[in-house]
Amino acid sequence: MARKQTRKKASPRKPSTAEPPNAARDIAPAASSADARPHAGLDRGGMASLARISAGLSPHAMLDAWSDWSMHLARAPGRQMELIERAQANWLKLTQFTIASMLGQAPSAPFQPGRYDTRWSHQGWAQPPFAAWQQGFLALQDCWQAATSDLRGLRKQNADRTGFMMRQLLDSVSPANFPLTNPEILEKTWQTAGRNLFDGAAHFSDDARHIIAKEHRPVPEEFALGTVLACTPGTVVFRNDLMELIQYTPTTKKVQSEPVLIVPAWILKYYILDLSPENSFIRWLVAQGYTVFCISWRNPGPEHAEWSLDDYRQHGIMQALDAIATIAPGEKVHANGYCLGGTLLAITAATMARDHDDRLASVTLMAAQVDFAEAGELLLFLDESQVACLEDMMWTQGYLDRPQMSRAFAAIRSEDLIWTRTIRRYFLGEPDLPTDMRVWLDDTTRMPARMHSQYLRGVFLENRITAGRFAVEGRVIALKDIAVPMFVVATETDHVAPWRSVYKTALFTDCDLHMLLTNGGHNGGILSQPGHPRRHYRVGHRHAGAHYHGPDSWLAAHDPIEGSWWPEWERWLRARSSGKVAARTAGAPQQGYPDLGPAPGSYVHQS
């Protein structure tokens, strides 16, 4: 137990009212003057109609990328010669492999699929003629990858975007997608006398019906919320139009003096951190002796189109801190933000530091970015034309709908998240076996038009947080103002928040900071409960004011440690706590925070 520290107690603010949030915030750039034209609505309506046809992708952005690439390649005879030579070399390798296979030999495959490409796992792909078809596809893929690589004078984003679009086109004609050229489908059809194709047709019909009707699949009964998932006992102690605040029931007689507030992302629901009991981050943290609070965001509809990013700060995190200051009076709070919740928490912490609000004891960011200059392949979907396209689509419907966001994430790893699933569901006739993670991924949410526009422009596209141009309540904030200790968690194979991008938190802060890198992806790496097999992490400490070291030198200087990163973080958290007190009861009825019902609350059930 940490030694009791003498410190100034945090003074609770007067609890905020639960009035609906408003959008009178200057947290993002104002609307363009073009929107004030008399007939601007006609333009936006037309673009919104086009965006619905193109699944939210801007045709102008795609044409611009192809035009930029083709013109630069046309004036580069040296690159053209390189590509011709590469195509000839690939053809020679493919010919030699095919001839050797036909002669009964077992040659080594000259081309290998990507890391996440599981379409070729069946042993039949090693046999002729399927091996030749597979290698021919991979050889063509290799040629196009070279053709769309960086070229002098070509914008890197257009090179990446062209390569991405060509990869999508090639994946659509892969031999793995067709029954007559896929050995696994042929084998399954022979074994089941074609039953797999009938089952696949039924799956396709069911999926098409849900897509056309825009029906949201309910959570399966075997994964019911509150009994199987999101089942950690707790109480809703505060509710406004934007969020519910859950206080979890203690399982120890004493708890650390400082409570913990968890701020989840609003793209999907909060219970990624409270999945099944065996991998629930929240349940585990409660068992370590902490008073844990968690925000559950509302699933917004068209009537909430004007909710802003600052509404999520004021009526989300700040009102949660108001409630905690009353329930645990005088105590500072360990704040923990996941994904976009972490980005919002960083904004909030910087604003509180600027305003001399000292109610935070520490800040933890899990798979959360504060700088978006190296945000990975998500940058392929964002430029001025693309953001305007999404804004126009949200302008007509009031929100960004669930499928429009999930499709973007799936397209980044389409070979695994789209095509592998398509083959298994529609040609092999295999149902989607639900898991706790799959149920959560399917339980998507909407995002208010104004808030998402502000996020895309002010935070992502213009990178205002680290550029010194992000204003909250009319004044710019700076991450360097944050003085409380920080703990930053990144995951090695994160395709949403790449770890080197997450690492840049160390570049823009001066406080005492621990950086931890764990294996796994954006979700699986965070859910790394003790006892989880094949887990490791690296952790390093930077003292306040120390010099910056780049991500590669940091990686080389820190060896992997076997096991879950959760106990490492908890030890850090305990060392920055001031001792234990008797476990707290839920809420503070006398001060305006009564029991509003059991966890997981009502907002988590909204579809």
pLDDT at 262 exceeding the cut of 70: yes
- Assess contact for 266 and 232: CB atoms under 8 A: no
- Contacts with 294 (C-beta within 8 Å, 6 or more apart), sequence order: 245, 246, 248, 261, 262, 264, 270, 273, 274, 282
In a shared domain, residues 95 and 183 = yes
For residue 588, list its beta bridge partners: 593
pLDDT at 279 exceeding the cut of 90: yes
pLDDT at 17 exceeding the cut of 80: no
Cα separation of 568 and 551, whole Å? Answer: 20
In a shared domain, residues 333 and 471 = yes
What is the mean predicted confidence (pLDDT) over 57-68? 85
Vertex 512: Cα angle to 506 and 513 (nearest 5): 45
pLDDT at 84 exceeding the cut of 90: yes
b/e per residue, 186-211, with b = 16+ CB within 10 A? eebbeeeeeebbebbeebeeeeeeee
- Assess contact for 517 and 555: CB atoms under 8 A: yes
Per-residue pLDDT tens digits for 561-597: 999 999 999 999 999 999 999 999 999 999 999 999 9
What is the mean predicted confidence (pLDDT) over 283-308? 96
Active-site residue list: 339
In a shared domain, residues 356 and 473 = yes
> Tokens 């984003």 — which residue?
157
Q: What is the mean pLDDT of the chain?
A: 88
Most confident of 49-63, 431-445, 557-571: 557-571
What is the mean predicted confidence (pLDDT) over 349-359? 97
Min mean pLDDT across 256-270, 387-401, 559-573, 576-590 is at 387-401
Instruction: Centre a 10 Å sphere on the Cβ of residue 279 and count the other Cβ atoms it contains.
Output: 18
What is the mean predicted confidence (pLDDT) over 537-565? 96
Sign of the alpha-carbon torsion through 47, 48, 52, 58: positive
Q: Which domain holds residue 161?
A: 59-191
In a shared domain, residues 181 and 270 = no
In a shared domain, residues 101 and 161 = yes
pLDDT at 413 exceeding the cut of 80: no
Number of structural domains in the chain: 2
- pLDDT for position 381: 75
Instruction: Centre a 10 Å sphere on the Cβ of residue 441 and count the other Cβ atoms it contains.
Output: 16
- Assess contact for 55 and 340: CB atoms under 8 A: no
- pLDDT for position 55: 65
Residue 451 host element (H or E): helix 449-454
- Contacts with 437 (C-beta within 8 Å, 6 or more apart), sequence order: 275, 523, 524, 527
- Assess contact for 409 and 233: CB atoms under 8 A: no
- Assess contact for 243 and 320: CB atoms under 8 A: yes
In a shared domain, residues 63 and 177 = yes
Per-residue pLDDT tens digits for 512-525: 999 999 999 999 99
Q: How confident is the model at residue 321 (pLDDT cuts 50, 70, 90)?
A: very high
Residue 436 lies in a domain: no
Per-residue pLDDT tens digits for 113-171: 987 788 999 999 999 999 999 999 999 999 999 999 888 999 988 898 899 889 989 99
Cα separation of 373 and 370, whole Å? Answer: 10
Residue 156 lies in a domain: yes
- pLDDT for position 3: 37
In a shared domain, residues 495 and 581 = yes
What is the mean predicted confidence (pLDDT) over 278-294? 97
pLDDT at 182 exceeding the cut of 60: yes
For residue 586, list its beta bridge partners: none
Residue 315 host element (H or E): none
Residue 103 lies in a domain: yes
Instruction: Centre a 10 Å sphere on the Cβ of residue 294 and count the other Cβ atoms it contains.
Output: 30
Domain boundary among 140, 163, 191: 191
Per-residue pLDDT tens digits for 192-239: 999 999 999 999 998 888 777 777 778 888 999 999 999 999 999 999
In a shared domain, residues 92 and 171 = yes
- Assess contact for 327 and 590: CB atoms under 8 A: no
Sign of the alpha-carbon torsion through 376, 380, 381, 385: positive
In a shared domain, residues 179 and 322 = no
Give me the percent of the chain exceeding a pLDDT of 90: 69
- Assess contact for 339 and 364: CB atoms under 8 A: no
Q: How confident is the model at residue 410 (pLDDT cuts 50, 70, 90)?
A: low
Residue 452 lies in a domain: no
239 residue type, one letter: R
User: Taking Cα atoms as reference points, which of 261, 263, 259 lies closest to residue 328?
Assistant: 259
Sign of the alpha-carbon torsion through 596, 601, 605, 607: positive
pLDDT at 25 exceeding the cut of 60: no
Cα separation of 574 and 119, whole Å? Answer: 46
- pLDDT for position 30: 41
Q: If you write DSSP's letter for every residue of 103-127 in order, what string do you get?
A: TT--PPPS----TT--TT-SGGGGS
In a shared domain, residues 263 and 362 = yes
Min mean pLDDT across 89-93, 227-231, 266-270 is at 266-270
Residue 351 lies in a domain: yes
Locate 415 and state its tokens. Answer: 């070979």
pLDDT at 403 exceeding the cut of 60: yes
User: Taking Cα atoms as reference points, which of 316, 324, 322 lies closest to residue 259?
Assistant: 324
Three-state SS annotation for 483-498: CCCEEEEEECCCCCCC
- pLDDT for position 407: 64
- pLDDT for position 507: 96
Domain boundary among 191, 215, 242: 191
Based on the number of CB atoms within 10 Å of its own CB, is 14 exposed (0-12), middle (13-18) or buried (19 or more)?
Answer: exposed
Give me the percent of the chain exceeding a pLDDT of 70: 89
- pLDDT for position 16: 41
- pLDDT for position 220: 87
* pTM for this prediction: 0.87
**Angle, helix 183-192 to helix 195-213, in steps of 10 degrees:** 110
Residue 129 lies in a domain: yes
Residue 380 lies in a domain: no
Cα separation of 451 and 377, whole Å? Answer: 22
In a shared domain, residues 492 and 599 = yes
End-to-end Cα separation, the chain, in angstroms: 43
Residue 392 lies in a domain: no
3-state secondary structure of 377: helix
Q: What is the CATH number of the domain that holds 600?
A: 3.40.50.1820
Q: How confident is the model at residue 8 (pLDDT cuts 50, 70, 90)?
A: very low
pLDDT at 252 exceeding the cut of 70: yes
- Assess contact for 365 and 508: CB atoms under 8 A: no
In a shared domain, residues 154 and 240 = no
Locate 229 and state its tokens. Answer: 């998932």
Instruction: Centre a 10 Å sphere on the Cβ of residue 87 and count the other Cβ atoms it contains.
Output: 16
Sign of the alpha-carbon torsion through 188, 193, 194, 198: negative
